[in-house]
Amino acid sequence: MREDIIKLISQGEGYNTEFKEGPDKDLAAEVCAFANASGGRIFIGVNDQGKIVGTDTSNTARSRIQDSINQVEPRPVTSLEVIDDVIVITVNEGKKKPYSCSKGFILRTGPNSQKLERYEIVEFMQSEDLFQYDNVVRKKYPIKDNFNEESYKKFVQKAKISETLPRDSVLVKLDCAGYDDNGELVFTNAGALFFRDNTEDFHFMEGQVVCALFKGVNKAMTIDAKWLNGGIMDNIDDAMKFLWKNLRVRHEFGGIQRKEILEIPVDALREAVINAVCHRNYFERGITVSVEIYDDRVEISNPGGIPKGMKEGEFGKKSVPRNPVIAGMLNRADYIERMGTGIWKMEKAMAEARLEPPIFTSTFFFTAVFKRPPMYDPSMEKVKGDTSMKLPTGITEIEIKICELVNENEKITAAQISETLGISESTVKRHFKSLIKKGIIRRIGSRKEGSWKLSEY
């Protein structure tokens, strides 16, 4: 038996092993840490170097050790064994997590035990599937007084759920509703975030999204800002409208069809906004999802870093949803195509646009940073033989239409454009002068035999 102990001790301290020369004041914390993790052994009578120094193994000493173990709440399952002059305490992984002692909530991390901060306790309980924010029933939030029919109709249409099905049963099945002690139908947190009618309710301020446009590369001057207080789907859609409004847009023409292209790929920005709303830590109140536009970048961030349990190499490849009900709802409504593909889609969209890859950081916040391209990006030059047309920003609707007609017929005259657009010839010539001044169009050859040529962007 002693040989087995020596063999175990020779492996050193680790995630499941702790050495102590004597039953010190930290013993209860070590037992608590192992119960909150996957269990382990505490060897009393062994120093930090793994040398057996022995300890008091009398009944009195063992009784004091048991008293220390009994300080842990709820009471963990343990066993105590004496082998020569060493006491071995075996702590089973707890089935009633989280466990605490006088020092707080303690968790085994690697070879050490550490006290958990509040947000770490929340993440720990979530990772252990003890509870999640989104499926908690709000017993004081009855649906009959707070329901938004338009939000519900929008969701069932996108999710392809029959509107003839009983609303209440659909909400319960989606984990968006439950019953209080009086049998009244009430929202879960997820249901309230999607379908509540009172969007200014202070109970759900954590559902807000704040959008801001700054002048320069810091927050010294705000040019535009918007607080989004709607349901989750409306907030996503409105955040995208804010980005469309405040980022540069170029126009591409294929034939007579005009296509607006955002300077940063829409797919990348949309995935980032959805990711922020879907995976934010909703237990952190008073902190919002933010969409921030600077001169050189766009930052989209949410409280709550990478969920606990996800390994470094799994980032962007696997999904560990912090809010599974919300994630499932967005998946049903086709906001999320497949779980775990958001990061890949952002990177792919930026690569296809020949832009720098997004930068992701994870601390207390998770942030996605997208570098804005220069005003005129040489990489966007028209490919030889391509019949589409690309234009810079800052031109009027009439000028766009003139460019479209020139793209189709480089020998078109001002008179022909006047007739086509229903404007005077003098107005056409005035816009031609503006386009020439901006360097968008130029004349090649004589007025009679020459042609118009669009610049390439």
> What's the confidence (pLDDT) of residue 457?
53
pLDDT digits (tens, 9 = 90+) for 411-429: 899 889 988 888 888 888 8
Asked if residue 247 and residue 365 are part of one domain, the reply reads: yes
Asked if residue 87 and residue 176 are part of one domain, the reply reads: no
Alpha carbon of 170 to those of 167, 326, 329: distances in Å? 5, 15, 12
* CATH code of the domain containing 326: 3.30.565.60
pLDDT digits (tens, 9 = 90+) for 52-80: 999 999 999 999 999 999 999 999 999 99
Burial class of residue 145 (count of CB atoms within 10 Å of its CB; 0-12, 13-18, 19+): exposed
Domain boundary among 116, 146, 175: 116
Asked if residue 320 and residue 235 are part of one domain, the reply reads: yes
pLDDT digits (tens, 9 = 90+) for 79-108: 999 998 999 999 999 988 889 999 999 999
- How much is the mean pLDDT over the chain? 86
Asked if residue 111 and residue 142 are part of one domain, the reply reads: no
Q: How confident is the model at residue 316 (pLDDT cuts 50, 70, 90)?
A: low
Of 285, 290, 287, 344, which Cα lies nearest the Cα of 319?
344
Residue matched to tokens 């939030």: 141
Of 184, 242, 193, 185, which Cα lies nearest the Cα of 213?
242
Residue 381 has pLDDT above 60, yes or no: no
Q: What is the DSSP letter of 203?
A: G
Domain boundary among 83, 116, 149: 116
Asked if residue 65 and residue 18 are part of one domain, the reply reads: yes
Asked if residue 154 and residue 106 are part of one domain, the reply reads: no
373-388 mean pLDDT: 49
Asked if residue 229 and residue 305 are part of one domain, the reply reads: yes
Flag whether 227 is in a domain: yes
109-116 mean pLDDT: 88
Distance CA 401, CA 15 (A): 69
> What's the confidence (pLDDT) of residue 302?
94
Residue 318 has pLDDT above 80, yes or no: no
* CATH code of the domain containing 431: 1.10.10.10
pTM, to two decimals:
0.63
User: Which structure tokens are listed for 29?
Assistant: 């914390």
Name the domain count of the chain: 4
Distance CA 329, CA 417 (A): 51
State the Cα angle at 177 between 173 and 272, rounded to 5°.
85
Q: What is the DSSP letter of 126?
A: H
> What's the confidence (pLDDT) of residue 105?
93
> What's the confidence (pLDDT) of residue 380?
41
Report the Cα–Cα distance between both ends of the chain, in Å, rounded: 80
pLDDT digits (tens, 9 = 90+) for 173-219: 999 999 988 889 999 999 999 999 865 665 567 889 999 999 999 99
Distance CA 415, CA 380 (A): 32
Range of the domain at 398: 394-454
Distance CA 296, CA 292 (A): 11
Contact (CB, 8 A) for 354 and 346: no
> What's the confidence (pLDDT) of residue 383?
37
Residue 331 has pLDDT above 60, yes or no: yes
Residue 382 has pLDDT above 60, yes or no: no
Asked if residue 267 and residue 344 are part of one domain, the reply reads: yes
Flag whether 47 is in a domain: yes
Distance CA 337, CA 71 (A): 49
> What's the confidence (pLDDT) of residue 53?
93
Q: Report the run of H or E that residue 332 belongs to, with start and end.
A: helix 324-332
User: Which structure tokens are listed for 343?
Assistant: 């990061």
Distance CA 176, CA 189 (A): 7
Residues 6+ apart with CB under 8 A from 236: 209, 270, 273, 274, 277, 335
Asked if residue 352 and residue 214 are part of one domain, the reply reads: yes
pLDDT digits (tens, 9 = 90+) for 249-287: 877 665 556 678 899 999 999 999 999 999 998 888 778
Flag whether 317 is in a domain: yes
